[in-house]
């Protein structure tokens, strides 16, 4: 079993046919077929069924491909690092960040950091929490920030922040005059929901079920940014991450405190076998300073926190 045979096998699995693989790799179709037979012989596995001239992958081929893809991810990470070193030198950092922090929060951090450390090259990659996890695991990112619904097995991690949700709506919404929003206020309201697998959505659904409150879910989306924009457009009311929502406060979106406990959490993760560069350590300090400032901005905008009924002393 050699690297060339594995490369040809992967290409066939990805492209779907031997002819496409031959064209992509610049070899003959017969060379592709010979390579696949050689791989099957050395592995002592049937990787393809030959049906009417077509190669149909077996279950064993699919399993093997998963292992090979992990290998290729590692190779791509090495290639990425080589290109980065050529373009930016050693004083650089790569952060993989999920959208809730990537689109507004991190750009502020980068701007502040660059004033102090203008020579550091920064690669800011915004992606889903699943991809953040993959990039940190493979070494393509120095550290990552993601939501708390992903498994953290095999990675070092810590809680970067936790904050209570806000309820967002347009300025002409029927609930606009309420200073705080209770669960019962959501009954029969057109509601913009986060995706079912989102951890804050799961927490909210449990509260709604216990309170026997049923909002009218009309849109589902993975990101608080979309919840905020849909609410600003008058589609409905939603629950959003305040770190994201505060950026919409000056553009026609109302933010209200909630009388119910639904947290948004961000996890900082990194590989235990990968030393933090000095640039990364400094960048994390700037991140924490910026998060403290954002939380103060949110509290100032929303005003005093309401006293929940369970906290009030009975008269």
The CATH number assigned to the domain holding 56 equals 1.10.10.10
CATH of the domain at 216: 3.40.190.290
285: alpha, beta or left? (left if phi > 0; alpha if psi -120 to 50): alpha
142 and 274 housed in the same domain: yes
Tell me if 82 is assigned to some domain: no
Q: Containing domain of residue 12, as a range?
A: 3-72
Q: Are residues 215 and 68 in the same domain?
A: no
User: What are the pLDDT tens digits along the chain (315 aa)?
Assistant: 688 888 898 888 888 888 888 888 899 999 999 999 999 998 888 999 988 888 898 988 888 887 787 776 666 666 655 665 565 555 789 999 999 999 989 999 999 999 999 889 999 999 999 899 888 988 889 999 999 877 777 788 899 999 999 999 999 999 999 999 999 999 999 999 999 999 999 999 999 999 999 999 999 999 999 999 999 999 999 999 999 999 998 888 999 999 999 999 999 998 877 777 888 999 999 999 999 999 999 999 998 565 544 433 333
Residue 80 lies in a domain: no
Q: Do 158 and 171 sit in the same domain of this protein?
A: no
Question: What is the rounded (10 degree) CA torsion for 74, 80, 81, 85?
Answer: 170
Looking at residue 277, its pLDDT comes to: 81
CATH, residue 271: 3.40.190.10
Check whether residue 66 and residue 46 sit in a common domain.
yes
- Assess whether 30 and 174 both reside in one domain: no
For tokens 């993989």, the residue is 96
Supply the pLDDT for residue 74: 63
| Same domain, residue pair 136 and 12 | no
pLDDT score, position 315: 36
98 Rama class: left (phi>0) / alpha (psi -120 to 50) / beta? beta
Domain assignment present for residue 190? The answer is: yes
pLDDT of residue 35: 92
Q: How far apart are CA 71 and CA 292, in angstroms?
A: 40
User: What is the C-alpha to C-alpha distance for residues 89 and 97, in angstroms, rounded to an integer?
Assistant: 22
Domain count, the chain: 3
For residues 114 and 119, what is the distance between their CA atoms, to the nearest angstrom? 8
Polymer length of the chain = 315
Tell me, yes or no, whether 39 lies in a domain: yes
Tokens of 259: 């009388």
> Is 314 among the domain residues?
no
């Amino acid at each position: 079993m050699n690297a060339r045979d594995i490369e040809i096998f992967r290409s066939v699995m990805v492209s779907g046919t031997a002819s496409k693989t031959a064209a992509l790799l610049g070899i003959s179709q017969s060379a592709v077929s010979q390579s696949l037979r050689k791989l099957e012989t050395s592995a002592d596995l049937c990787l393809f069924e030959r049906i009417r001239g077509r190669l149909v992958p077996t279950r064993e081929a699919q399993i093997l491909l998963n292992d090979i893809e992990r290998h290729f991810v590692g190779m791509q990470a090495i290639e990425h690092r080589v290109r980065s070193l050529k373009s930016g030198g050693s004083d650089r950092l790569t952060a993989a960040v999920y959208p809730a922090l990537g689109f507004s929060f991190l750009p502020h951090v980068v701007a502040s950091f660059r004033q102090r450390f203008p020579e550091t090259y920064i690669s800011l990659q915004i992606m889903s929490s699943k991809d953040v996890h993959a990039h940190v695991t493979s070494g393509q990112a120095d550290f990552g920030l993601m939501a708390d619904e992903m498994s953290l097995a095999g990675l070092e991690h810590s809680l970067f922040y936790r904050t209570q949700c806000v309820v967002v709506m347009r300025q002409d919404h029927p609930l606009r005059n309420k200073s705080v929003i209770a669960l019962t206020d959501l009954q029969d309201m057109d509601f913009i929901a986060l995706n079912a697998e989102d951890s804050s959505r799961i927490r909210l659904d449990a509260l709604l079920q216990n309170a026997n409150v049923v909002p009218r879910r009309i849109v589902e989306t993975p990101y608080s940014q979309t919840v905020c924009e849909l609410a600003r457009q008058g589609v409905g009311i939603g629950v959003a991450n305040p770190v994201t929502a505060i950026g919409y406060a000056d553009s026609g979106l109302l933010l209200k405190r909630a009388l119910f406990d639904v947290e948004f959490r961000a996890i900082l993760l990194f590989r235990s076998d990968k030393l933090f560069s000095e640039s990364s350590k400094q960048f994390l300090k700037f991140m924490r300073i910026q998060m403290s400032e954002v939380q103060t901005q949110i509290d100032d905008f929303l005003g005093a926190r309401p006293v929940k009924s369970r906290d009030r002393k009975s008269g």
